[in-house]
């Protein structure tokens, strides 16, 4: 996330890559079709863009509906794909937004002219306050995760937030997992953080999901046996869910900047989408850097050593979008049921095989009680099913995710 560190890393080649081949290792897998967007308006926004762009391509077509790439989140944000940045950082006159309608960049960034002329790390009051106008209605991921919004104090007792380009996560300091946690309000104002914001944005897009946050098991500030472990990451990837990585020095909770004594600390956000276990037993994570041009080459060992931006992984954020029926259409004696839902494919780089991870069963019940639902169709990886000879009486349907 740090612009100066990012430029230095790219210039010196400080990023350490491990050379691997398909014949090496005991396990080597990755989720296919993960976007690799260039840093824009903050690393956590960019990482969240990679995450939600992935789900837009894998079962949730309403996550991005702008004009870029005909409404399908592209795999990169270069050239004509630049408009995908609006998914996490809207702006007046950009990617279909009316020129007279303020967005995220207009209200929360002091200056954002181009990548080399931005107010990164500015502690000044947000522009909408200086202009005496109301905030725009939240319409992008950055709005919901609180990115660059300088309006809160005492964020989990760590810092005030958020300076330009930064977002915050309310961690459970014991290393326990927080599921669908919502930070307490301040002065009757909703406090935004990254995990709760991801869920709120998903609901804004008309779907729903579960989210969790957890410190890593190698974080020195939690007791042994607690925290998110490599096996947890492996389970998430094997189940088809990319994981956000939150990089931060373990003991740096704030820093003093001009105009703010307790500003956000140095942080960086990335997206894990695979893993590699070497013959030696060393366990690696495959990830997108949030700086673009990652390819499928970036892997780092699951240890407290520095990763990108000279920072270790402090914690992770997991996100599971939930299946949802979108339409039921009757045609004579047939019903066509359609739904949104996860649709991930896991590629094994050793065997060269791919596996569809998410299967669905349509269930029916005469009542809404969960115990009375029974399957009425074979498991499918599709997002629609046709039911015949159905429903002379009132009935209820649901779609259940059954895994492989």
Domain ranges of the chain: 3-320, 324-403
Contacts of 261 (CB under 8 A, 6+ apart): none
CB-based contact 289:245 (threshold 8 Å)? no
Domain 324-403 has CATH 3.40.50: no
Q: Residue 377 pairs with which residues in a beta bridge?
A: none
pLDDT in tens, the chain (404 residues): 444 433 333 332 333 344 454 446 899 999 999 999 999 999 999 999 999 999 999 999 999 999 999 999 999 999 999 999 999 999 999 999 999 999 999 999 999 997 789 999 999 999 999 999 999 999 999 999 999 999 999 999 999 999 999 999 999 999 999 999 999 999 899 999 999 999 999 999 999 999 999 999 999 999 999 999 999 999 999 999 999 999 999 999 999 999 999 999 999 999 999 999 999 999 999 999 999 988 888 999 999 999 999 999 999 999 999 999 999 998 878 889 999 999 999 999 999 999 999 999 999 988 887 778 899 889 999 999 998 877 767 788 899 999 75
Cβ count near 393 (within 10 Å) = 5
What is the side-by-side strand order in the sheet with 374-375?
Answer: 374-375, 359-365, 396-403
- In this structure, are residues 121 and 257 in contact, taking their beta carbons and an 8 Å threshold? yes
Q: Which helix (H) or strand (E) holds 189?
A: none
Q: How far apart are CA 394 and CA 367, in angstroms?
A: 8
Handedness of CA 106, 108, 110, 114 (dihedral sign): negative
CA distances 129 to 135, 168, 261, Å, are 8, 21, 21
């Amino acid at each position: 996330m740090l612009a100066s560190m990012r430029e230095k890393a790219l210039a010196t080649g400080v990023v350490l890559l491990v050379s691997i081949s398909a014949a090496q290792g005991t396990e080597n897998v990755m989720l296919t079709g993960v976007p690799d967007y260039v840093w824009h308006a903050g690393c956590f926004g960019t990482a969240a863009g990679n995450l939600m762009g992935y789900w837009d391509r894998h079962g949730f077509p309403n996550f991005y509906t702008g004009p870029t790439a005909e409404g399908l989140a592209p795999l990169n944000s270069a050239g004509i794909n630049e408009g995908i940045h609006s998914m996490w950082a809207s702006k007046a006159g950009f990617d279909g937004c009316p020129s007279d309608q303020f967005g995220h960049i207009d209200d929360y960034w002091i200056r954002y002219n181009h990548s080399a002329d931005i107010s990164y790390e500015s502690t000044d009051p947000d522009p909408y306050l200086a202009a005496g106008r109301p905030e725009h209605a939240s319409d992008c991921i950055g709005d919901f995760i609180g990115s660059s919004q300088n309006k809160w104090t005492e964020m989990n007792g760590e810092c005030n937030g958020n300076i330009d380009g930064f977002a915050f996560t309310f961690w459970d300091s014991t290393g326990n997992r927080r599921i669908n946690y919502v930070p307490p309000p301040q002065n009757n104002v909703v406090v935004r953080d990254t995990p709760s914001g991801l869920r709120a944005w998903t609901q804004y897009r008309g779907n729903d999901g579960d989210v969790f946050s957890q410190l890593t098991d190698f974080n020195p500030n939690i007791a042994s046996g607690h925290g998110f472990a490599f096996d947890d990451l492996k389970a998430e990837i094997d189940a088809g869910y990319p994981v956000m990585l939150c990089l931060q020095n373990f003991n740096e909770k704030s820093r003093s900047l001009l105009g703010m004594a307790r500003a956000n600390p140095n942080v960086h956000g990335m997206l894990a989408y695979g893993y590699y276990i070497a013959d030696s037993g060393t366990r690696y994570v495959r990830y997108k850097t949030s700086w673009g041009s990652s390819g499928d080459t970036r892997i780092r060992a699951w240890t407290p050593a520095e990763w990108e931006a000279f920072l270790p992984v402090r914690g992770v954020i997991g996100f599971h979008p939930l299946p949802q029926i979108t339409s039921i259409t009757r045609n004579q004696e047939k019903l066509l049921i359609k739904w949104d839902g996860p649709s991930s494919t896991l590629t094994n780089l050793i065997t060269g095989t791919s596996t569809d991870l998410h299967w669905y069963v349509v269930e029916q019940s005469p009542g809404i009680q969960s115990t009375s639902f029974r399957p009425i169709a074979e498991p499918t990886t599709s997002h629609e099913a046709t039911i015949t000879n159905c429903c002379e009486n009132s009935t209820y349907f649901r779609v259940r995710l059954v895994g492989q």
